[in-house]
Structure 1
């Protein structure tokens, strides 16, 4: 096998930056010492969590770091949010390109008496904001939507959709799994009541750390879904009312939190929007390189309207065969199948075939794009 080329950043970021690895290493080396120094005034771990909350709050432009809740990932966050905010008899709006992290919790809630309306996106993943207004019912309580599909890449008009929802007093929940670290996400400007994030994709932290930020309104509405020890108010039979304790039971992932603080600091120093501009250039290079090949290219095919991923369906062989050949013969790592997002594939008309997804990140190079285009050309133009 040739040198491996990693083009699966939409699933997870692979290589971590030196400051992140250094922070994690230091934490592991000092962990026993920090634990031994625990005192009634708090400990170094609590200080690290506080600094990480501040970094997350700044990144998403929310003024109160105590409203940053750490979880294992964006899936856990969305389950906690949806299960905590919706009650039987409520109505919820979502879109037809959502990940199973939204679809499956909503299916459980549907069976418990919550009605669900799935706003139909166009085949390329785009959505008309006016559909939100048309779908609102008297009992509509919440709008949850991804900022960009992990299959189609299309960036949705979140700000416009949320503005409509807020005029009707509807809670707004944003899934930033594919956009955090690529798009600027201003929680206040977007009128998002809750923003869910994961650390291991565009935020470049370790796997196993994620979370959500919720405003005062959402904090009142949302009930704890996970409960347990918090190290505070232990005499209470219920979770404490104060944030972040109310939504953070159990031992926290200190290592993941440490990595997230370090990666956010690195992204700030590097100017992540400059990195995003480079990723757009690479995406355009890839799109230009494959436009004449016998494949169907999904999404808008406009890098200004998409995150840096491209999903294709070959016309002459299956997606499984193409992904396998890319890996075995060229060392190119992609992601094939349904990407845990069957709604998006139904929207695109690819539920039966799946796609092969190429997704690019901070360390992807132009040479790697060239190699991927060349490999696709050789595989797909064989006599």
Structure 2
């Protein structure tokens, strides 16, 4: 029996067939030429240009050159935060953020940048008015997750960022848990900087990600990572034009190709269909959990969350429970703090954390029923199933 993969919030398990074919074709054609550093007619620059356009259309970016590629959301957030904020600046974020946000802000605090963490409630939810009350004269930016990776809670981004724009602040969205699942239009959601990772719901290869900029934002961010670009090579400084300003070094062309192919597949399938399917699966799982002796954290309502369910069970360490689910039943989950200790402090599960079940479009109701039965058997103290 194939393992039951319920760790989609960490990385996607299966890639679209068209993506695998595109990657295979690329590897077989042996087109190993650096972008902007090779003979004309090669395909590397074309792959990047095509994928920029695909992502620009997907996220509502005005100019494809304002789609920048990095190796993941963590690098993107480091580049953006370190390039935007100066000593004396103040930034606002939430208590549900991933370490990809909190650790750069921790380092920036040593350089004179201050941070206010808006305290979410035990469900991981935030009231937009909290943001308005936290703004100071020195506030420069607001950075928020779109959906919490521990509880799945969807944040009121549109309302919060509208308040931020009224006060002249730069808005930064960490869409690691939502890009490829929820519709995201930068203009509609009042986003100045959209950070995404490619290997989760966007279904690309690991080592892909980036950030998108609204008009006029690039000028506010100084380059944090610099080096060769293949353009303006005589200058000692990083070029100030896009995308070169934020893309030094050899790009991950294979990963970029996978990302473009996967987003095309997502677009063809339709975000609405994906969201409805994953929401139905989440509700099915939540309904089944209601009959078990577990404590669920988060909204516990599928329409208020992405398909991420965290829980604890009496008498079980979360690592022990996750280990037994895997070794006895072949169910893959994620246990612990999920790189989000502030979120676990918010919901009351620090320092032990929780066991997280996260679903994807290819998750089936049968897999969830099997998981619910396995949980019931473990929690009732019976021996593991013999037919696995």
Check whether TM > 0.5: yes
Residue 141 (str. 1) matches residue 140 (str. 2): yes
Q: 1:35 to 1:193 in 2, by over 3 A?
A: closer
Shift of 1:38: 7.5
Q: 2:140, 2:38 → 1: CA distance? A: 44
Structure 1: 5+ residue runs without aligned partners? none
Map 1:62-81 → 2, pairs under 5 A? 62-81=61-80
Pair 1:36–1:10, CA change in 2 (3 A):
closer
Residues 1:306 and 2:305 are matched in the alignment: yes
Distance in 1 (alpha carbons) for counterparts of 2:45 and 2:351: 49
- Number of residues paired by the alignment? 382
Aligned to 1:366: 365
- Residue pair 1:294, 1:316 contacting (<8 A) in 2 also: no
Residue number in structure 2 paired with 1:268? 267
Instruction: Tell me what 2:385 maps to.
Output: none
Residue in structure 2 matched with residue 315 of structure 1 by the alignment: 314
Question: What is aligned with 1:231?
Answer: 230
Give the Cα–Cα distance (whole angstroms) in 2 for the partners of residues 194 and 365 of structure 1: 34
Question: Per the alignment, in what secondary structure is the counterpart of residue 30 of structure 2?
Answer: helix
C-alpha contact (below 8 Å) 1:313/1:319 kept by paired residues: yes
Structure 1 residue aligned with 2:30: 31
Tell whether the 8 Å contact from 1:193 to 1:217 is kept in structure 2 after alignment. Answer: no
Does residue 195 of structure 1 match 2:194? yes
Q: Deviations over 1:108-141 (max 9, x none)?
A: 0011100100000011000000011100000100
Q: Root-mean-square deviation (CA), in Å?
A: 1.5
Aligned position for 1:204: 203
Shift of 1:59: 0.6
Shift of 1:353: 2.1
Change in CA separation of 1:212 and 1:36 when aligned onto 2, cut-off 3 Å: closer
Corresponding residue SS for 1:43? coil
Q: Which residue of structure 1 lines up, in the alignment, with residue 344 of structure 2?
A: 345
> TM-score, normalization: structure 2?
0.96
Asked if structure 2 preserves the Cα contact closer than 8 Å seen for 1:56 and 1:264, the reply is yes
- Partners of 2:37 and 2:29 lie apart in 1 by 13
Q: 1:42 to 1:95 in 2, by over 3 A?
A: farther
- Which sections of structure 2, spanning at least 5 residues, go unmatched? 383-388
2:86 is the alignment partner of 1:113 = no
SS of residue in 2 equivalent to 1:289 = helix
CA shift, 1:315, in A, is: 1.2
Q: Secondary structure at the match of 1:372?
A: helix
**Mapping of residues 147-162 of structure 1, within 5 Å:** 147-162=146-161
1:296 counterpart = 2:295: yes
